[in-house]
Structure 1
Amino acid sequence: MMSHGEQNYEIEKQSWYAPNLPETQEIDENQCQSLKQEIDVVIMTATDVELKAVAKLLKPYPRKKKVFLAYVGPETYYLGKFGEYKTVVTKCRMGSIGEGSVILATEQAQRLWSPRAMIMVGIAFGKDPNKQKIADVLVASQIISYEQQRVGEEIVYRGSIPPSNTTLLNRFENAQNWKFTRPDGSHCNLIVGSILSGEKLVDNPDFKAQLFQQFPQAVGGEMEGAGLCAASGRVGTAWILVKSICDWGDGKKHKKHQPMAAAAAASLVHHVLSQKTVLSSIKKSGGEPQANVLSQKLADGNRPISNNSHSGKLAGSQRKQFCEALMDAFPSQNALKMMLSYELDWELDRIAGGNNYEEIVFSLIEYAKAQGKLIELLEAAKRDNPGNPKLRNVSF
């Protein structure tokens, strides 16, 4: 047995090894359009290893002998059944920015296929080899984008921390009887938590330590998640990121375990999507950026919805007032954590983060806004501390 739980094995002898892509049958854009309404899932990958691992589990459509292959614009798509769902699999370039990046690839995939869900599948670096193992699978409860910084006497991270889709996260948290076995016979673990995302291929122990010091709630890191959630959030498509640990980003990076890690992540996604009704409560996206909420009309009166509705919009002054009220009513992080646990069964460390208490509270409000639960958060706070005057003055 090697250090950090690494193993010696012959990769060619492993049942999960995917050296090649499946045989395909090419289809044209007109055929793509005819299949659009049937597509439920788009799976994004960023490397050949990830693509092959996912494609190994992609089966042809019923009564078809080969997986469909489509060239549309600058992208290449593989169409088939992944578990119980008709799925498109594609590969972008590594990272969230630049030509061919995940942002551009995700936007085009959403416009073309209008899926119920966008799922990023692949490999990541782990946080702690003493608590995690190679090929353990990380499921993102939220994505921490660490690239946005204010650089002065000290570095202040200013990136957003968007949460994964609530329904998709629930489905993966409740994945029952999933099993992926390493060559030594041990089973991989499913770990749910915040995942770091940035443009850097992390392979430096000092830089890695700095990231986890700033974001102790994170369980690992990768390069595409920030772009995935940015593009999916713009259209309103449900998204989640599922990646498996292939190394530790500690200056000893190598590619040996990448195929096993990619296979483990693909295996978990395939297991979840093998449940026939797992996505039933998620509607197909429209494929275009969401219209401004002011242009939406109420069915009973053709009246514009208020821009300050608790369904998702929050004016800057309201956000500041709510943030200050929460900090006044719950002056410590532990006090806020207990309120959320008792009243809402929320885990603060999983849904919000930041460099200081104010940033954590701001992140919590952003989480509640994204989930359409601002009113729930406010009412919970008022129940726990009904005598606080600042909370009493907050309304949406």
Structure 2
Amino acid sequence: MDDGHGKIHCPSFTLPMSSSRELSEQAHEFFRGRPWGILPYTETTEDCLSTVEQVARFVLNEKTRNAERPPVDVFLLTALMEPEFTALENVDFQWKPFEPLDRSQLIKFGTVTSQGREYSVAAGFCQRMGPVAASILTMKALLELRPSLVAMTGICAGIPGKADIGDVVATEVSWDWQSGKHVDKNGIEGFEIAPHQLGIHDACRNALLLFKRDEEFWRSLAPDALNAKVKQPKLVLGPMATGSSVLADARVAARIKENQHKNVVGLDMETYGVFAAAQAYSASTKVISLKSVCDKGDVKKNDRHQSYAASVSATALHRFLSQHLHTLLDDR
């Protein structure tokens, strides 16, 4: 502190803005975990100005607190802003500009129509990858927005022979594949798995089975698949193993399949955390995870298909909600 300026009053809130994606990416790590991150600025739309207004209103009402927010029907989340949340933004949910959920999280509100009825939607992305950040964001949304359905979209690894690049993995059951006990077995290091599995509601499973047979939709994805030089995507319903580490070793994936669940179809870093938060909040809260395969979790792992897979996942989620949300929520 400069003694010549006396006592400096630090602001309670800061909202950095930048019109340069390159500079924003360079500063991303510094602002990770700080309130709201970096707001993209553009003069082509009024979204940035609207977000600043919403932040200002939030700050002004922070002490007095507005009346309780009305609940939303669906909360959508992704692991990261790029490429997953950006892919979600590009889908027609009638998105409004960002606004604060709380002192550290920005979200967007939108709508989706199912069977002629309009449903409210909110969406946000985690501060970082992994089950902890995913469960924190999920619980924040559940407490503030009280959605009836929580849905995760994004990218994952596929198990060879089970799910191909671009396929959408619909999680039927998930667990933490790293949960267990490291032991010494006569001088040889060993590990005893202790999985806690969480599954989806029967109504969600039935809707996903119908979605799997939506041939018109899956055929509509063929042109983009051709451009990406991969097979036409399909829905793969099955177990998803979640861990806090990135996998780029086929031997680890093979051990998960051999020792934990022979039918595992995908690997990710968030789904179990989302499922756990939803169950802890209320047994009546429905939850799904629709993630598209971008790699096989082996030594060939790279970013080549991440944007493509994120787009497939977001598009599939919108179609699923459009076709089946009215059925999932009509028993509320």
Report the TM-score when normalising by structure 1.
0.60
Contact kept, 8 Å, 1:55 with 1:89, in 2: the verdict is no
Q: Which one has a bigger Cα radius of gyration?
A: 1
User: Quick one: distance in 2 between partners of 1:80 and 1:103?
Assistant: 22
Deviation for aligned residue 1:178: 2.3
User: Quick one: distance in 2 between partners of 1:159 and 1:183?
Assistant: 35
2:131 matches 1:96: yes
2:223 matches 1:223: no
2:130 matches 1:108: no
2:110 matches 1:80: yes
User: 2:157 is matched with which residue: 125, 133, 145?
Assistant: 125
Give ranges in structure 1 of 5+ residues lacking alignment. 1-19, 61-65, 284-396
What residue number does 1:13 align with? none
Structure 1 residues 192, 269: closer, same or farther in 2, change over 3 A? Answer: same
Task: Tell me the amino acid that sits aligned with residue 43 of structure 1.
Answer: L
Deviation for aligned residue 1:158: 0.6
User: Quick one: distance in 2 between partners of 1:108 and 1:69?
Assistant: 16
User: Quick one: distance in 1 between partners of 2:272 and 2:171?
Assistant: 11
Query: Aligned pairs, how many?
Result: 255
What residue number does 1:178 align with? 217
Contact kept, 8 Å, 1:79 with 1:87, in 2: the verdict is yes
2:96 matches 1:67: yes
Contact kept, 8 Å, 2:163 with 2:265, in 1: the verdict is no
2:65 matches 1:41: no
Contact kept, 8 Å, 1:243 with 1:265, in 2: the verdict is yes
User: Quick one: distance in 2 between partners of 1:282 and 1:108?
Assistant: 24
Question: Residue by residue, what CA displacement relative to the aligned partner does 1:312-363 show, whole Å, maximum 9, x if unpaired?
Answer: xxxxxxxxxxxxxxxxxxxxxxxxxxxxxxxxxxxxxxxxxxxxxxxxxxxx
Deviation for aligned residue 1:88: 0.6
Secondary structure class of the residue paired with 2:76: strand
Task: Tell me the amino acid that sits aligned with residue 241 of structure 2.
Answer: L
Deviation for aligned residue 1:183: 3.6
2:206 matches 1:167: no
Contact kept, 8 Å, 2:179 with 2:194, in 1: the verdict is yes
Contact kept, 8 Å, 1:58 with 1:67, in 2: the verdict is no
Runs (4+) of structure 1 moved beyond 6 Å? 20-23
**Could you tell me the percent identity over the aligned residues?**
22
Contact kept, 8 Å, 2:163 with 2:266, in 1: the verdict is no
Flag the structure with higher strand content. Answer: 2
Within 5 Å, which residues of 2 pair with 1:299-310?
A: none
Structure 1 residues 90, 32: closer, same or farther in 2, change over 3 A? Answer: farther
2:224 matches 1:192: no
Within 5 Å, which residues of 2 pair with 1:1-396?
A: 24=47, 25-26=50-51, 27=54, 28-29=57-58, 36-37=70-71, 39-47=72-80, 48-60=82-94, 67-71=96-100, 72-84=102-114, 85-92=119-126, 93-97=128-132, 101-128=133-160, 130-152=161-183, 153=185, 154-175=190-211, 176=214, 177-179=216-218, 180-181=221-222, 182-184=224-226, 186-214=231-259, 215-236=261-282, 237-275=285-323, 277-283=326-332
Deviation for aligned residue 1:235: 0.9
Question: Residue by residue, what CA displacement relative to the aligned partner does 1:93-137 show, whole Å, maximum 9, x if unpaired?
Answer: 20012xxx1111111111111001111111000101x45321000
Secondary structure class of the residue paired with 1:273: helix
User: Quick one: distance in 1 between partners of 2:68 and 2:295?
Assistant: 42
Structure 1 residues 264, 190: closer, same or farther in 2, change over 3 A? Answer: same
Task: Tell me the amino acid that sits aligned with residue 242 of structure 1.
Answer: L
Deviation for aligned residue 1:33: 5.8
User: Quick one: distance in 2 between partners of 1:23 and 1:166?
Assistant: 42
Report the TM-score when normalising by structure 2.
0.71
Give ranges in structure 2 of 5+ residues lacking alignment. 1-40
User: Quick one: distance in 1 between partners of 2:210 and 2:249?
Assistant: 34
User: Quick one: distance in 1 between partners of 2:296 and 2:168?
Assistant: 14
User: Quick one: distance in 2 between partners of 1:127 and 1:250?
Assistant: 10
Task: Tell me the amino acid that sits aligned with residue 123 of structure 1.
Answer: I
User: Quick one: distance in 1 between partners of 2:321 and 2:309?
Assistant: 19
User: Quick one: distance in 2 between partners of 1:23 and 1:55?
Assistant: 16
Structure 1 residues 211, 258: closer, same or farther in 2, change over 3 A? Answer: same
Question: Residue by residue, what CA displacement relative to the aligned partner does 1:164-203 show, whole Å, maximum 9, x if unpaired?
Answer: 1222222122112322223417521100000000101011
Secondary structure class of the residue paired with 1:121: strand
Contact kept, 8 Å, 1:57 with 1:82, in 2: the verdict is no
